[in-house]
Amino acid sequence: MTKLETPSMADVPSIRRLNRATLLAAVAAGVILVTTVLPAEYGVDPTGIGNALGLTKMGLTKQAAHADFEPAPATAAAPVAGNHVTTTLPDGSTQIKLVLRPFEGKEVKATMKAGQEFTYQWATDGEKVDFELHGDPEGAVGDEYTSYEKGQSAGANGTFRAPFDGRHGWYWKSNATSNVTITVTAKGNFEKFAVLE
């Protein structure tokens, strides 16, 4: 059995060294708190380092998930945040204007039969949003759906042909810290074109 030796007084750190190590640890913890924890958890970035590292956006996303945002003031041409305006245009197309609150997602879909098609155009008021063009078949169970296209954009246009009976359209999600207005117009063969509530 090995006998452990008791350290001598020369090997034990002095009170001064312990205080200095404690102070250095406290300063390091403060720097980590201000540069990474506050931006990543709360979206608070007093130094700007969190923004450069992409942590501030993550913190704002977390805060948005737990907070109720006040809608932007409505104008005559725009719907109030969380609501939408549906209009039939003179050429017979259906236009929907909707507002996404910060980090909010919404869907607009057309109810269609297989083979029906429509032309479309959608655009934001400038801010890019995450989007997915997808469809769920008639009688879909749970989260059953087919994805046709996804990405990040401020708008798109084209023609869509339904491969099966069901609802087909877009899901948009805002990554902005302010409201984003999306205007989508569709013309063609569909039974209904509306925001999913």
Q: Is 43 exposed, middle or buried (0-12, 13-18, 19+ CB in 10 A)?
A: buried
What are the pLDDT digits (tens) for 71-101? 333 333 445 545 789 999 999 999 999 999 9
- pLDDT on residue 56: 77
Share of the chain above pLDDT 70, in %: 88
Main-chain phi, psi angles of 36, to 5 degrees: -125, -45
Share of the chain above pLDDT 90, in %: 51
- pLDDT on residue 76: 38
Mean pLDDT, range 155-182, rounded to an integer: 93
Q: Is residue 196 classed as helix, strand or coil in its secondary structure?
A: coil
Does residue 152 carry a pLDDT above 70? yes
What are the pLDDT digits (tens) for 134-145? 999 988 777 788
- pLDDT on residue 39: 81
Does residue 55 carry a pLDDT above 90? no
Number of H helices, E strands in the chain: 4, 10
- Comparing 50-64, 106-120, 171-185, which segment has the lowest mean pLDDT? 50-64
Mean pLDDT, range 144-153, rounded to an integer: 92
Length of the chain: 197
Alpha-carbon gap, residue 78 to 170, rounded angstroms: 20
Q: Which long-range contacts (CB under 8 A, 24 or more apart) does 3-9 make?
A: none
- pLDDT on residue 70: 40
- pLDDT on residue 93: 92
Mean pLDDT, range 107-133, rounded to an integer: 94
- pLDDT on residue 120: 95
Domain 84-195, what architecture? Sandwich (2.60)
Q: Kindly state the tokens that stand for 33.
A: 């708190």
pTM for this predicted structure:
0.61
Whether the CB-CB separation of 103 and 130 falls below 8 Å is answered with no
Mean pLDDT, range 45-56, rounded to an integer: 82
Torsion from C-alpha of 117, 139, 108, 68, nearest 10 degrees: -170
- Comparing 47-51, 60-64, 150-154, 165-169, which segment has the lowest mean pLDDT? 60-64
Domain spans of the chain? 15-66, 84-195
| Arithmetic mean of pLDDT over the chain | 84
Residue from 93, 100, 102 nearest 177 by CA? 102
Strand ranges of the sheet holding 94-100, from the earlier edge strand across to the other edge: 84-88, 94-100, 180-188, 117-124, 155-161
Higher-pLDDT residue of 46 and 136 is 136
Q: CB under 8 Å to 194, separation ≥6 — which residues?
A: 86, 96, 108, 109
